Structure 1
């Protein structure tokens, strides 16, 4: 971890923004910069936890997604949608997981152009052990539980407003 600074550089950047006449954008700049720095800190903790398993967070997410399915199988296109990343990134992740024997790729049974990802036994063991290590990180983020809940709510509102997802529509009553 880097040496602790005596001044919050983001607070200093906000002061500079205001001093340069950009007060109308200073709070937004501070919010974005704070989000980006928090992401760096969180990712560093996650990477430390996953390092013993030779996994990146992207590779862990793919394994965990497959492990959440009933049979450890998922069409590649479904994985792309659920992980919200570019198809090329998913392909790269899958290629690395295949190389390490953690997933296999099989032809889709109904669509000859598509593929199905299959979690191997080694992949299941790895993701279960890695999940335990990550849960230790998630359980001790260093902030109060109520702050975590509020942070998630704030970020969900931000993500929704940015078009990341839509609230589910009302469920029709059964006939």
Structure 2
């Protein structure tokens, strides 16, 4: 009789622990959903769409060696806003607030293409900050850079295909 009670207790403890873990995951997911919805909405905003246009259409012809100071004012503001958006998104992913899979699945292509176009500007800006003795100059856009590498590890196609709810065939 005592062995049966111990077995029942152990099974009950296991079931309770599994239910608690599932509840924690559901809570974390529920907290991340509004954050992701807001981020995706911001990415679709007119301002960030204009910023991406500047990055794709105008940045390649600009001298990026002066960092942000080398860009005309309106372009500088747009590029900075876009870079900060991805940097903030990278911070949320790096600290586990949101998972990389939905970010990569939805925004991964943009993360990769924007980073590859702005990287020379970021490197120039970091060098300028180092020359001006600003603290930790290499930290500027570090979360964006890290996000780029995370997306490369979990490319958009893979992130989408790994979800249980993806039905489209891979290209």
TM-score, structure 1 as length reference: 0.28
TM-score, structure 2 as length reference: 0.28
Over alpha carbons, which structure has the higher Rg? Answer: 2
**Greater relative contact order (Cα 8 A, min sep 6): structure 1 or 2?**
2
